[in-house]
Homo-oligomer: A and B are copies of this chain.
């Protein structure tokens, strides 16, 4: 765990989502929602993902009242081979660009690195972006949607969504915001994950592959920070889904750290289980990115939450590594966010 002692704030954030996400319980909280067909006006799914990233960053910058030349670094990643979702999506921005690969943990990875950069010397402001698109992901990792393959009960639904965050160590940047909200989200500690392979080989059960990594990161964090789950208003994992969530809660309990009272998972929150047929819940880089950037950060800005842990979870395999008989390593990066009165 690293304390982020120099104050680093999440100045603004924005999310862009597809139709299914707009139709879910958090739909009203997203800034941009696709109404027609999830193509975002593009002729391929990959370009649609580019467009989501481009729009999300543009909106987050507008929200911060900030132009490109004020932002020192842009950290971004996605699930596509060679991270083309970010490489092309953010090409129009003249900001020094740091490509990340953290699978579905990318939103947390980006925020973690951004806060560490901003707390050092030199860098004042960072942007971080993460995305996934259901159609581009499914055809790359499993099979094209047109194939219509039957999904297993533990399978999750890759979220179509992108979110961008602007972090700053300059308190004066908030002059723009003081009129809007009493509290601002401040990143106070981070804990990078150690990758762990628990032997799961089922590409339709990513929750099981990621849950042990989430437990490992949480247990290390509670030990290092001398805090307990009850010190948090929320422990929010990225995309464990129903299967992974029950594994994580059981694992934590078996280690004597019960998180049930304060735990939730973005993959459980983004779709309505009864009405939307999404099996084990949402997943993908976009899942945790859009839930945090919208609904959760609003609750911090409103002072409803005082302190939360955001734990981005990722599965670090590829279709080829599975074909070669390897199991799925998981990783979980943790970011502690507190509401600070401005």
Contacts and interface: CB of A to CB of B under 8 A. Distances in A.
Contacts of A122: 2-3, 116
Copies in the complex: 2
Contact of A46 (B94, B95, B321): B321
B318 A84 contact: yes
Contacts of A91: 195, 197, 329
Contacts of A212: none
A96 interface: yes
19 contacts: A2-B121, A6-B121, A44-B324, A46-B321, A79-B82, A81-B81, A82-B318, A83-B101, A84-B326, A87-B317, A88-B321, A91-B195, A95-B194, A98-B100, A99-B102, A100-B100, A116-B117, A116-B123, A119-B121
Given A329-B87, A329-B91, A81 B120 contact: no
Interface residues of A, number: 55
Interface in A96-143: 96-103, 109, 113, 116-117, 119-123
Interface of A: 2-3, 5-6, 44, 46-47, 72-73, 77, 79-84, 87-88, 90-91, 94-103, 109, 113, 116-117, 119-123, 191-195, 197, 316-321, 324, 326, 329, 331
Contacts of A101: 77, 82-83, 99-101
